[in-house]
Structure 1
Amino acid sequence: MITQASLSYATLIQRPPLWALAGTIIAVAFYVRAVIGFGSGLISVAVLTLIFPIKEVVPVVLLLDLLGSTLLGAYDFREICWPELRWLIPGSVIGLALGSYILADTDAQNLTRFLGIFILAYVVYALVLKPEHLPQAGLPWGMPLGIFGGIVGSLYGGGGPPIVAYLQMRHLDKRAFRATFQGIALTDNVLRALIYVALTLLTWQLAVGFLLLIPPVLLGLWAGNRLHMRINQRAFLMGTLAVLAAVGIKYLIP
């Protein structure tokens, strides 16, 4: 079994099978991202860390997510619901700062279990009511759920679940949902990239290794976007809940 191989440019270019394996994982992750708007970070980190060191995986996946958010955001730019972002982005920034403080002074494992329970409770709630019949959330709810998402982003590398719950309860159509999520994801990605650079977690070798993984990202986004345009709204909503359920289960497993 291959363990602890480097995700750097030098290793990937010298070991094509590793490059192909990492590329396949990335392509699948970004296929899911294009179909439902989120999930690439969770899938990439969960699988790539079985092969590569987590301290290398997280910064590289962050760059890949930054690329994915930029491309999807640009593609769907006209579909972005700006009023949502006016509440979500300030909340997310506050949450990222709070999450950094919590991470420094608290055992994050207990918080992980709480997050898993919260996500699964929401999934059950949404399934019982049916996603299309969820109550309408007011715009101001974007602030507390943005803060919650920012905290989750600081602790676990992606604040998707609380933001997904909020956008579902805003009853956006699938394209607007995906576009708006990219706006908040882009904010999160840029802030965390600056933190990683400041902490020297993002090295030159990893940055060049990221360049080798751009083609799989583009392939996954292209293929996933084709499905996104074809599925109906209910299939889209059920897909988001399925990914949320997988996230919740993952957070409950030590």
Structure 2
Amino acid sequence: MHTQLDAALLLSQPLTWLLAGLIVFAAGYVRATIGFGSGLIMVGLLTFMFPIKLVVPMVLLLDIVGSILLSGYDFKHIRWPELSWLLPGSLVGMVFGAWLLYSTPAQHLTLFLGFFLALYVLYALWVKPERLPRIARGWGLPLGTFGGVIGSLYGGGGPPLVAYFQMRKLEKRAFRATFQGIALIDNVIRIGLYVFFGLLAFSQVGAFFLLLPAMAVGLWFGNRLHLRISEVAFLRATLLLLAIIALKYLVSGFV
């Protein structure tokens, strides 16, 4: 594992740059297709190559690009009332998660996240994703808080927010647009928190610029697929990604 993540390392090791670029491309493709998952994919795979405390802040910068581009593209589809409870919960969760990332080994919470996701996926498959019950907006407060903690720790608080949006019955375009809206707000705030805790270094910005083209290309291809898939396929794809993420965190929590 490399002990640094900056432009100098990537330029001096083209193979490392290529592998990291492929991971970022895949993450952008998934993000544009189903609206979330890029942060968790990048953190989950890049941490095999770099320390998590270097990866998470750099991934945050890449995720902001995805949020800006997708929220701008889908701006008129954002359901602003859905953020009324999600946003306050996310703010509380982000502060707590950033403090945990700064002061404790973040991997200690991976097992809990894995169990939560696995139970939700099993429940959704049991009732079928298109038949999930509709929940009240108030559920946005606890799920937003959980998402904020996970976002600060692992670079993406998507899973709890996905559960909320699925059970609020948002169609795929509104789902993706509204997710980008709260993700953009969250990411900007997280930058401030990471700077405050000294987690974001200037050297990581160089790596961000070298990996940015891979993110942009992945977003472009993923958006083309998003506009073509059906609502049912979209729901099932989100559950598949959640199941993969759950398995990854369950395995890492036990190892």
Shared fold, TM over 0.5: yes
Pair 15,189 (structure 1): closer, same or farther in 2 beyond 3 Å: same
Q: Give the alignment's Cα RMSD to 1 decimal.
A: 2.0
Partner of 1:167: 165
Equivalent in 66, 69, 72 of residue 67 of structure 2: 69
The amino acid of 2:133's aligned partner reads P
- Does the 8 Å CA contact 1:151/1:159 hold for their aligned counterparts? yes
Deviations 1:20-79 (A, max 9, x none): 221111101110111111111111111112122323211111100111111111111111
In the other structure, the counterpart of 1:28 is 26
Residue deviations 1:83-114 (CA, integer Å, cap 9, x gap):
00122111111222344566678886564322
Cα offset for 1:200? Answer: 2.7
Matched pairs, number: 252
Following the alignment from structure 2 to structure 1, what is the Cα–Cα distance between the partners of residues 191 and 108? 26
Amino acid at match of 1:56: L
Q: Check whether the contact 1:5–1:11 (CA below 8 A) recurs between aligned residues.
A: no
Moved more, 8-17 or 95-104: 95-104
Q: Which residue of 1 aligns with 2:215?
A: 217
User: 1:19 is matched by which residue type in structure 2?
Assistant: W
Shift of 1:201: 2.3
Residue identity matched to 2:65: L
Q: In the alignment, is the contact (CA less than 8 A) between 2:56 and 2:153 conserved in 1? A: no
Could you say which residue in structure 2 is the equivalent of 1:229? 227
Identify the residue that residue 43 of structure 1 maps to in structure 2.
41
Q: Which residue in 2 is equivalent to 1:146?
A: 144
If the length of structure 1 is used for normalisation, what is the TM-score?
Answer: 0.92
Residue 10 of structure 1 and its aligned partner are, at CA, apart by 1.3
1:123 aligns with 2:121: yes
Measured in 2, the distance between the counterparts of 1:114 and 1:209 equals 31
Structure 2: where are the runs of 5+ without partners?
none
Which residues of 2 match residues 236-251 of structure 1 at below 5 A? 236-251=234-249
Q: C-alpha offsets along residues 185-209 of structure 1, whole Å, 9 cap, x if unaligned?
A: 1122112211222233222221122
Partners in 2 of 1:52 and 1:108 — Cα distance? 15
Aligned to 2:57: 59
Q: Output one character per residue of 1:161-182: Cα deviation in whole Å (capped at 9) or x when no partner.
A: 1110000001111111011111
Question: What code does the residue aligned with 1:244 have?
Answer: L
- In 2, Cα distance between equivalents of 1:56 and 1:102: 15
> Partner letter of residue 18 of structure 1?
T
Whichever residue aligns with residue 227 of structure 1, its letter is: L
2:227 alignment partner, SS class: helix
Contact 1:116 1:249 in 2 (8 A): yes
Question: SS state of the match for residue 213, structure 1?
Answer: helix
CA distance in 2, matches of 1:113, 1:161: 14
Task: Select 2:193's aligned residue among 192, 195, 206.
Answer: 195
